[in-house]
Amino acid sequence: MQLRRKDLLGIAELTAEEIQLILDTADSLKEISTRPIKKVPTLRGKTVVTLFYEPSTRTRMSFEIAAKRLSADTVNLTVAASSAVKGETLADTAYNLEAMQPDLLIIRHQASGAPYYLAQRLKCGVVNAGDGLHEHPTQALLDLMTVREAKGRLSGLKVAIIGDIAHSRVARSNIWAFTKMGSEVTVAGPATMLPPYLAAMGVRLVYSLEEAVRGADVIMMLRLQLERMGQWYLSTLREYSATFGLAPKHLALAKEDVIIMHPGPINRGVEISPEVADGPYSVILEQVTNGVAVRMAVLLLLIGGGT
Amino acid sequence: MSLLITGGLVVDPSQDLEEVRDLLIEQGRIAALEPPGRLPSEGRQVIDAQGLVVTPGLIDMHVHLREPGEEYKETIATGTLAAVRGGFTAVAAMPNTKPVNDNAATTRFILDQARRAGLARVYPVAAISVGLKGEALAEYADLKAAGAVALSDDGRPVMNALLMRRALEYAHTFELPIISHAEDLDLRADGVMHEGVVSVRLGLKGIPAAAEEVMVFRDVTLAQLTGARLHIAHVSTAGSVDIIRRAKAAGVPVTAETAPHYFHLTEEAVEGYDTNAKVNPPLRTTADIAAIKTGLADGTLDAIASDHAPHSSLEKDLEFVAAAFGLIGLETSLGLTLQLVHEGVISLSRAVALLSTNPAKILRLPGGTLAPGAVADVTIIDLHQQWQVDVHSFASKSRNCPFQGWRLKGKPRYTIIGGQLVWQADQG
């Protein structure tokens, strides 16, 4: 099976069937990472370039490990070492990379839509590894995979996403992902971070953490960007933490088998207390493990054809 | 040399006229306007305008010609060629050039370049504040003497309310209108498109309608306070239309314009991160379009101006957030306005008022009328000619037009300025 598309740019344009295919493929590939020799030859001879204009540790490493476990060659280009600092445009950088004939370009960029811009111009495939405030599709896919493993299903679940929804590409991708798979999504945060237009994406908006987590099967906490304080999105960290930080007392409101997720990196003691992050309901590290499997699946489904 | 335009439907709101007339032009002025057949054609150049519409020359009261300083985007010569091809006999050029048109020398340079080009008339709009910095008043008496017809800090709104008050008063002294680019820069923050469902979906920072409306309200309040003439540029929201309607009812000396993209396109045009749809104020919603159409029909909005804002690929072929705001409109404005006539939103006479008579009145320009004695600026339009927008055929140097491929009905056929036939469409 293949995805009938050149690029993976966002969850918004994927069908439930395509998501299913990626998750099923990821499930079957997950076992490779537990072998003593963690490598299969599937993508031998393929070249995967990661082009990161924003700092990232786990996402880039996760893509790189995924590519290597499938035997693809990987090249990493970071913004600090690239020509961007010399004033080269994104398009010129991409054309130059493409001239070296990679099979896939994995891009993270601070501008929403940058991967779309490249996908329209390049013949090679483009994978969005996070664009501005827009989408982070592989994060949502690994979140779906983690929830499906824990719950055995994705439909009919109550999912609460809490934090700075306005500025979160993880939230956007997950809203699309969970609603497409038949779950009910509630988003919560202060109104400064919760634009009312979100309702058009098919989610419920509440301004109370307690209300959001009541009866939830899944609680997803978002990282608070600390620079938001300077733009009056919140008053103090102390108040944010007291109002929208997830603490052990909240878990009693949720379903008994609730799972706690976080895309990382965690601000311990801000949006999530250490007891919850490290507690028995947390699947935060499982998310990271599944990230490799999901990214292997994406690479395989996009450039694994014809082998 | 005299020119006789015969058999056309003359639409001239300044005389409340919409009838077939022959129009005689002599020595650059309208000499006579008579029922068909009364004016002899012997010894005269004749334009047969049967089946066509004859209007006072169209005036685009809000364009950016980019000269001096950004001649790679547009020059006064290419911009005025785009104007005459679009049916416009005159344009008002905004001052955000490099250097800024905040002094008599730059105003005179613009007029000299326009004279050299010999195409559409160019009426310079000079800066409210020196360097558009919102700090000191420019020399309005000097600017007026040099030929400026209005004052505006277009693109760099005046954030200081006291400076705006003084600018209105000082401009009033010299009978110059202030054109307000109504936008609160703090509320806009780093927004790049309309704040709404599409911005949330695309992960682009929004510019709320309120960023425009609070400043429209501020400025009409200041116009009321000072009694000075205020014109609101590029109205894009239902709320602004409402504020202006109420201000007019209260007798405030305010006029307003909108642009064709604000009654044809919504925030949806940004989908796919199309930078040609990145414009400030941003494309809004269907509810805003409805309110703007109502405002055009009921007289709340006085003029349609294109806000022709040429940019090259250097500013537009970029990530959406990095791209410049602005789109070009001189060669599509008439067709897009006539669309409203074909849809029955406004009458033909109202369209001519919006594109000619009213801009002439607001800026106190010659033209805007075909009354005998007036300057002979005339546009002759084929109301029913179907055509397809093709940016590659534009005279403008730039291509940043979101209407590429649109099918429109109605196109200029002849553009006459000061009695001279300056442009004529290819027949065929």
Q: Are the C-beta atoms of B11 and B352 separated by less than 8 Å?
A: yes
Partner residue facing A116 (CB), from B196, B197, B272: B272
Nearest CA in chain B to A89: B318
Which residues from chain B sit within 8 angstroms of residue A12, using beta carbons? 201
For A111-121, write each residue's pLDDT tens digit: 999 999 999 99
Nearest CA in chain B to A165: B200
pLDDT number for residue A86: 67
pLDDT number for residue A80: 66
DSSP B366-420: S-S---TTSB--EEEEEEEEEEE--GGG-SSS----TTTT-EEEEEEEEEEETTE
Say which residues have a Cβ less than 8 Å from residue B273's Cβ, sequence separation at least 6: A112, A113, A116, A117, B202, B319, B320
Partner residue facing B203 (CB), from A91, A134, A200: A134
For B69-88, write each residue's pLDDT tens digit: 999 999 999 999 999 999 99
The full length of chain B comes to 428
User: Any chain B CB within 8 A of the CB of A108?
Assistant: no
- Taking CB atoms and an 8 Å limit, are A113 and B273 in contact across chains? yes
How far away is chain A from the Cα of B4, in angstroms, using its nearest Cα? 53
B258: which 2 tokens? 């909108």
Rg of chain B over all Cα atoms, to the nearest angstrom: 21
Which residues from chain B sit within 8 angstroms of residue A198, using beta carbons? 200
- Taking CB atoms and an 8 Å limit, are B203 and A90 in contact across chains? no
Is a pLDDT exceeding 70 seen at residue A159? yes
User: Any chain A CB within 8 A of the CB of B272?
Assistant: yes
Give me the amino acid identity at B64. H
What are the beta bridge partners of residue B193?
Answer: B206
pLDDT number for residue B427: 57
pLDDT number for residue B342: 98
Measured CA angle at B256 (ends B251, B260), to 5 deg: 155
Give me the amino acid identity at B177. P
Q: What is the spatial distance between Cα B264 and Cα B178, in angstroms, rounded to a whole number?
A: 27
Residue B239 CA to its chain's centroid (Å):
21
For A204-257, write each residue's pLDDT tens digit: 999 999 999 999 999 999 999 877 777 899 999 999 999 999 999 999 999 999
Which residues from chain A sit within 8 angstroms of residue B196, using beta carbons? 197
Nearest CA in chain A to B194: A197
pLDDT number for residue B373: 97
Tell me which of B12, B307, B377, B382 is the catalytic residue: B307
- Taking CB atoms and an 8 Å limit, are A169 and B321 in contact across chains? no
- Taking CB atoms and an 8 Å limit, are B203 and A169 in contact across chains? yes
Which residues from chain B sit within 8 angstroms of residue A201, using beta carbons? 197, 200-201
Q: What is the spatial distance between Cα B128 and Cα B150, in angstroms, rounded to a whole number?
A: 9
Q: What mean pLDDT do residues B232-237 have?
A: 98
Q: What mean pLDDT do residues B139-143 have?
A: 98
pLDDT number for residue A231: 83
Q: What mean pLDDT do residues B284-307 have?
A: 98
Q: Residue A120 belongs to what H/E stretch?
A: helix A114-121
Band (pLDDT 50/70/90 cuts) for residue B426 is: confident
User: Any chain A CB within 8 A of the CB of B250?
Assistant: no
User: Any chain B CB within 8 A of the CB of A111?
Assistant: yes
Chain B interface mutation, best of A53, A54, A88, A89, highest count of B Cβ atoms under 10 Å: A89
Is a pLDDT exceeding 60 seen at residue B129? yes
**Lowest mean pLDDT, pick from A9-18, A76-85, B148-157, B372-381:** A76-85
What is the CB neighbour count within 10 angstroms for residue B358?
24
Q: What mean pLDDT do residues B169-174 have?
A: 98
For A19-63, write each residue's pLDDT tens digit: 999 999 999 999 999 999 999 999 999 999 999 998 888 899 999
pLDDT number for residue A2: 75
> What number of C-beta contacts closer than 8 Å exist between A and B?
63
For B29-76, write each residue's pLDDT tens digit: 999 999 999 999 999 999 999 999 999 999 999 999 999 999 999 999
Specify the pairing of strand B193-194 against strand A125-131.
Answer: unpaired
pLDDT number for residue A83: 59
DSSP B65-120: --TTT-TTT--HHHHHHHHHHTTEEEEEE-S-SSS-S-SHHHHHHHHHHHHHHTSS
Partner residue facing B202 (CB), from A113, A117, A200: A113
The residue assigned the tokens 């594109």 is B355
Is a pLDDT exceeding 50 seen at residue B222? yes
The residue assigned the tokens 């005998």 is B372
Partner residue facing A195 (CB), from B200, B272, B318: B200
Is B317 an annotated catalytic residue? no
- Taking CB atoms and an 8 Å limit, are B204 and A132 in contact across chains? yes
Taking alpha carbons only, the member of B100, B122, B126, B125 closest to residue B113 is B122
User: Any chain B CB within 8 A of the CB of A132?
Assistant: yes
Band (pLDDT 50/70/90 cuts) for residue B428 is: very low
How far away is chain A from the Cα of B403, in angstroms, using its nearest Cα? 20
Q: What is the spatial distance between Cα A295 and Cα A132, in angstroms, rounded to a whole number?
A: 20
Which residues from chain B sit within 8 angstroms of residue A117, using beta carbons? 273, 318-320
Is a pLDDT exceeding 50 seen at residue A307? no
The residue among A131 and A79 whose pLDDT is bigger is: A131
Share of chain B above pLDDT 70, in %: 100
Which residues from chain B sit within 8 angstroms of residue A131, using beta carbons? 203
Taking alpha carbons only, the member of A135, A156, A157, A159 closest to residue A59 is A135
Partner residue facing B319 (CB), from A117, A135, A195: A117
Partner residue facing B273 (CB), from A117, A195, A200: A117
Share of chain A above pLDDT 70, in %: 97
pLDDT number for residue B337: 98
> In chain A, which among 62-101 make CB contacts under 8 A with chain B?
89-91
pLDDT number for residue A56: 86
Say which residues have a Cβ less than 8 Å from residue B119's Cβ, sequence separation at least 6: B77, B80, B81, B83, B84, B417, B422, B423
Q: Are the C-beta atoms of B190 and B98 separated by less than 8 Å?
A: no
For A278-297, write each residue's pLDDT tens digit: 999 999 999 999 999 999 99
Q: What is the spatial distance between Cα B393 and Cα A97, in angstroms, rounded to a whole number?
A: 34
